Chain A
Amino acid sequence: MPSWQWSSRRRVSPCRRLGLFLFAPEALTLLAAIVAVSILPSSLASGATGMAAPSDDQGIGVVNAAPPGGLLDSLLFYAVAGGAVVPAIGVCVTKNIVRMAVWLFVALGSVATLYFLLAASFLGAIQLIVYAGGTLVLLIFGVMLTSKSPWVRFQPRAVEVVAAIIVCTGLLVCLCLVYARTTWHSPEGVVPGTPLVQLGRRLLTAYLVPFEVAGVLLFIVMVGAAHLARQER
């Protein structure tokens, strides 16, 4: 069969149709929600809430648009948390390797937004640049170099899937019980800024050895990966 006839000859099962119908608009809505949530905190200036702006002694703009305990804070958190959890479940459920990579991309974007909510803006930017823009592209290159045909699928045995579901849900339930029953002693009334200057200083004073070791490790990884993937003569 010539390649231009492949897509018209494929039969799509009803379950798949339903899944496509449910997931495709969901993915678009999730993306739109993530973009809106990323833009929203920076557009709500502190004047909108009527509170005085926190002191900006780090040189980076501090925006207290979503005060802790407010409705906006909860809405933002649940939207972004949903945007992280749903693509993670999508990664588990999907059988196509390229769709798994796309769901992972959405999950990484949501985790970056989670970092912005946790007042770790530098880390959120690094997550988007390095993780979503570097590691994920590398994984997609790996998918490209190791795929034989578009519709080859590896199905795990049903026993393995059931055992994995039991183990993972058991672990999730145990972790959530531990988190619900622990009393965390968090200090009151704290709104941290974005301590970029402090982060740079700590990286070069207290965390100098891990910093240098990470540099050496990256060099080793570059040489090793180039050697592993070299063309055989």
Chain B
Amino acid sequence: MTIGLSHYLVVSAVLFCCGLFTMMTKRNAVGILIGVELVLNAAAVNLVSFDRFLGPGRIDGQIGALFVIVLAAAEAALAVGICVNVYRNLSTVDVDTATALRG
């Protein structure tokens, strides 16, 4: 069977759902960040595969994936800074213990 667009989209969907599951179930804050990285990777794979199969001479999807990588690195840096601050103040990175703002 010819490998078409839907094959790559299914791969990206599986990556997305695994990242979503990681974000929902992990209590470690850095674990949640790892889930976010999986989700962003899934989005970038989606962009590049649409670009390759539906637009033969176009590279807009690759540029979009490039910006996704840049933004993922930026938000990972800031999020790790936040996790380090949470660890300094609460001496744990368990997100279930960060309840100071809970209504």
| Interfacial residues, chain A to chain B (CB-CB below 8 A) | 68-69, 73-74, 77, 81, 84-85, 88-89, 91-92, 97, 100-101, 104, 107-108, 111, 114-115, 118-120, 122-123, 126-127, 130-131, 134-136, 138-139, 141-143, 145-148, 154-156, 160-161, 163-165, 167-169, 171-172, 175-176, 179-180, 182, 184-187, 190, 192, 195, 198-199, 202-203, 207, 210, 214, 217-218, 221-222, 224-225, 228-229, 232
Residues of the A chain whose Cβ atoms lie less than 8 Å from the Cβ of B88 = 232
Q: Are B81 and A143 in contact (CB under 8 A)?
A: no
Chain A contact residues: helix, strand, loop or mixed: helix
Contact of A202 among B59, B72, B87 (CB under 8 A): B59
Question: Can you list 5 A-B contacts with CB-CB less than 8 angstroms, sorted by A residue number?
Answer: A81-B11, A146-B84, A179-B9, A180-B6, A217-B74
Q: Are A142 and B84 in contact (CB under 8 A)?
A: yes
Q: How far is the CB of B8 from chain A (nearest CB, A)?
A: 7
CA distance A81 to B22 in the complex (A): 19
8 Å CB interface, B16-50 against A: 16-22, 24-31, 33-35, 37-38, 41, 44-45, 48-49
Contact of A84 among B15, B69, B82 (CB under 8 A): B15
Q: Are A108 and B41 in contact (CB under 8 A)?
A: yes
CA distance A210 to B66 in the complex (A): 11
Residues of the B chain whose Cβ atoms lie less than 8 Å from the Cβ of A145 = 80, 83-84, 87
CA distance A101 to B26 in the complex (A): 13
Known: A168-B20, A176-B10, A179-B13. A146 touches B67 (CB 8 A): no
